[in-house]
Chains A and B, each alone.
Chain A
Amino acid sequence: MGDLVIEGLVKHYGPVLAVDNVSLTVPAGKLVSLLGPSGCGKTTTLNCIAGLERPDAGVIRVAGTILTDASRRIFLPPERRRLGMVFQSYALWPHMTVFDNLAFGLRLQKVPRDEIHRRITEVLELVGLGGMERRYPYQLSGGQQQRVALARAVVSQPAVLLLDEPLSNLDAKVREQARFWLREFQQRLGITTVYVTHDQAEALAISDLVAVMSAGKVLQYGPPREIYERPATRFVADFIGATSFLDGTVSDRVDGLLRVRVGGEIELCVTHALARQPGEPVVLAVRAERIALAMDGDTVNIVPGIKRSQVYLGSRYQSLVETPAGTLRVETAMELPDGKVRLKLPPEALVVLPPEEGS
């Protein structure tokens, strides 16, 4: 068992560059999410791994077996890659029973009959659908179909499991349960998995590692916490969570503390000071839920503002507050008072980003 390695993957559609030099290593047994908005190249990347798309450049290999090497004109067709894949629509063959859907790949591999029966029974048991062998796909609920698709993908014991937005067709409620369930399932099998999604909450919840993609490029690749707390670019910060951005200039640097002047009079302290020099323009990113209403005694990183609007999210309130430094999105457990408010932006909650780096 080995890692899935992607090196220098490039895919054009006519003049459009869908995948722009993507390199990733998916460690054996880990679940890696490709996260990004539609059109970012995540599904194209997945299809290149599956062999459903032929990349213009790049190498893809699993445990030393080369699946694709564009420069050497090696391209294994999808049927020879021994992968498992779950499609967004599940792609269960409507004219076959659950059993036949699962047996399809096994029969092609010339697995003996008894073995086919044993494996299908086992895997259906594992996804909680024991006894459903004779059903047709249309006789199953959405959640059951999704699990049949998953069972079909793993029953032939593939080297890598590919999941293309497998939860996006489920109701919100079922989707959250499925998230836990899918994570547990993947860990139990210990199967190397690539998971494509545009849902940031899903990616953070389920993954060992997340690759955030935009315009065909991987912008940041790391564990979910790192992606969330230390976004590397403005795009990543913006795409994940509710984030506000403040333009400013570095005014001072003392003891690992960076002082950034934003919106005229206000100066904010930042703990995570990268190598920034005074006078340098920067952007500060701050998560909505990290902003709090200031207490009377607070003096550091206080921003005054006026509440403009508010929506109730169920457990929390999200407000837009206009401040001299810019408009801030604020998420609080308690309702913010109307009119003037004093907000506190904790130094450790601020992330320093380079100014306007394109996206």
Chain B
Amino acid sequence: MTATVEAARPVTRRSLDLPVQVALAAATVALVFFPLVPILVQAFSTRPLYDPVRAFTLSNFTRVLSSGAFWSVVGTTVAFAALTTVLAVTLGTVLAILVERTDLPARGLLNSLVILPFYVSPLVLAFAWAVIYGPQGYLTIRARQLIGHDPWNLYSIPGLAVVSMVYYVPYTYLYCTAALSLSDPQVEDAARIAGAGPLRAIRAVTLPLLRPAITYSALLTFVSALELLSIPLVLGTPAGIRVLASYLYILGIAGGRIDYGAIAAISVLTVAIVTALVWVQERLVSEERRFVTTGGRASRIRPMELGSLRWLAFVFVMAYFTFAVLLPLIGIVAQSATAFLSPLINPLQVLTWENYRLILETEAYRRSIVNSLIIATLGGAIGILFMAFISLMSYRSEFPGRRALTYLALYPRAIPGIIVGIGFLWAFLLIPGLGAVRNTIWALMAAFIMRYIPLGFGAVSPAILRISPELDRAARVAGADWLGTTRRILLPLVRPALLSGYILLVITFLKEYSSALFLFARGSEVIGTTMIELWRQGNSGPVAALASIQIVLTLIVLAASSALLRRR
């Protein structure tokens, strides 16, 4: 090769970088503000949004803040969320230390079992617990036969908190195991060598090291529990227990005359409080720590020996899984396949396909399954690509507004699902020309994607941050623009993360219901909304059938994904 060096020639080809980046940023801004603006406007308006004659007012806030019902709901919500947090964080931390750091038998299996509720919709979990532990639940009746009275009351704040605990344990568990796998186990060895016993070493070294992870998961759990609808709705409503989310639901849907101003004011107050909590959460953890990655560490660490406690700990973990997760899920499947589930009757004598027949033969019910599948698979794909591009712009571009974009992408965490639904509904009603979209699954898809931008962003970003920036710089120097670099270098390299992020979105979209409740219409039902409709009509059999279908669909996705991921 001879050195035929020419001067850099001017390139006429126009790069699409900036137009694409601006479009993506605009889409993000639009999605996030779309539901917020109508709520804000409504909160300060005298008349409903659709009324053209309205004036500015603070009366919505004064009315809400001076209502006794509101404050009692707030009290219940805080008590419920706090109790849930204490239970879930304690159990999650204990399980994390046991599974990650000790010589517990079958740790791999226990790990998957502990995470399992993460994939189950809390709505399904609520129905499932009611089947086993509700006032007419299988084990409740059994216990009543044995001791003569009900040993527990599921329809109470502690009852709600225990069920919610099962749903939230995986959060703490995942953050703590990630923190444990990152920290050097030699610090524990050092404590042992200095003369501490195993429990002392855990208390003196392991737990303090876990404190950031514990604090972070506690806030995360608390914030999620504050906005949780399903478990309080299903298990609290019969006993008259109302939390913020179920209160909003009743005000907006199940009640009589709809007080738009009150709904908006409560929404604004809730979003403001959650925003503050999320902000505190962020302050506690630096940028990088937010994305804790799970799995795979380089060298296997010598686990702490529990000695004779080993099997006791194993039984404890297995008992938790059996009674909290396995039995309720078996129960709901059993209920779906029987006419009447009770310890008084042999279930094999009342086997029936009637519940499934009803679901599959009723057009609206069948449609909700199809809709859920379309939204999960198609919306998940659109969503993960969109979220990956936001992350690429945030971390791998010179886009001027990339810092602001990062914050914006993470902001939907501060908007409870039910409020996302309210906001989208009002926005669709308000903005002319969007009426055609409003009653379609595209409206739900947009709301789901908006709500879970932070989830997909968080799933893809660690993989993007892990790629050496020199790889994209090399592509730029070689003559590729930002889009070319993204398409040819970055996206192919993060493909595994895209795939697992996609699976996460599919499962999340399959179980999503809260943002759909206000938004769905005839024709755009999803599994979650249909379950709540059926539950309101008192049809526990078809609810169980639909819940079982959702569980099976989720299991299929999980099995397919683990087969896919293993092949790589």
Contacts and interface: CB of A to CB of B under 8 A. Distances in A.
Interface of A: 1-2, 29, 50-52, 62-65, 67, 76-85, 87-95, 104-105, 108-109, 119, 122-123, 126, 152, 154, 156-159, 162, 189-192
B476 A79 contact: yes
B287 interface: no
Contact of A157 (B4, B478, B488, B492): B4
Contacts of B254: none
Nearest to A105: B478
Contacts of B475: 93, 104
Nearest to A64: B7
19 contacts: A1-B3, A1-B5, A50-B477, A52-B476, A65-B8, A67-B8, A78-B476, A79-B477, A81-B477, A83-B477, A85-B477, A95-B493, A108-B479, A123-B1, A152-B474, A152-B478, A156-B478, A157-B4, A158-B5
Contacts of B473: 50, 52, 78, 85, 87, 91
A76 B477 contact: no
Interface string B476-509: 1111110010001100110000000000000000
Contact of B474 (A2, A91, A158, A159): A91
Contacts of A2: 7
B112 interface: no
B493 A88 contact: no
A94 B493 contact: yes
Interface residues of B, number: 28
Given A87-B474, A91-B470, A91-B471, A108 B5 contact: no
Contacts of B8: 62, 65, 67, 76, 80-83, 159
Nearest to A118: B1
A119 B480 CA distance: 19
Nearest to A1: B5
A93 B6 CA distance: 26
Contacts of A50: 473, 477
A190 B474 CA distance: 22
A120 to B, nearest CB: 10
Contacts of B1: 119, 122-123, 126, 154, 157, 189
A52 B468 CA distance: 14
B470 A87 contact: yes
The winner among B9, B11, B492 for most chain A CB atoms within 10 A is B11
Interface in B456-481: 468, 470-471, 473-481
A29 B4 CA distance: 12
A33 to B, nearest CB: 20
A13 B6 CA distance: 33
Contacts of A1: 3, 5
A22 B133 CA distance: 76
A190 B3 contact: yes
A157 B474 CA distance: 15
A91 B10 CA distance: 26
B474 to A, nearest CB: 4
Given A91-B468, A94-B493, A159-B5, A108 B484 contact: yes
Interface in B345-403: none
Given A108-B478, A152-B478, A88 B470 contact: yes
A50 B1 CA distance: 23
Contacts of B476: 51-52, 77-79
A104 B493 contact: no
Contacts of A93: 471, 474-475, 489, 493
A103 to B, nearest CB: 10
A78 B492 CA distance: 22
Nearest to B8: A82
Given A89-B468, A189-B3, A108 B480 contact: yes
Contacts of B6: 82, 157, 159
A334 B180 CA distance: 55
A192 B6 CA distance: 12
A208 to B, nearest CB: 15
Nearest to B6: A159
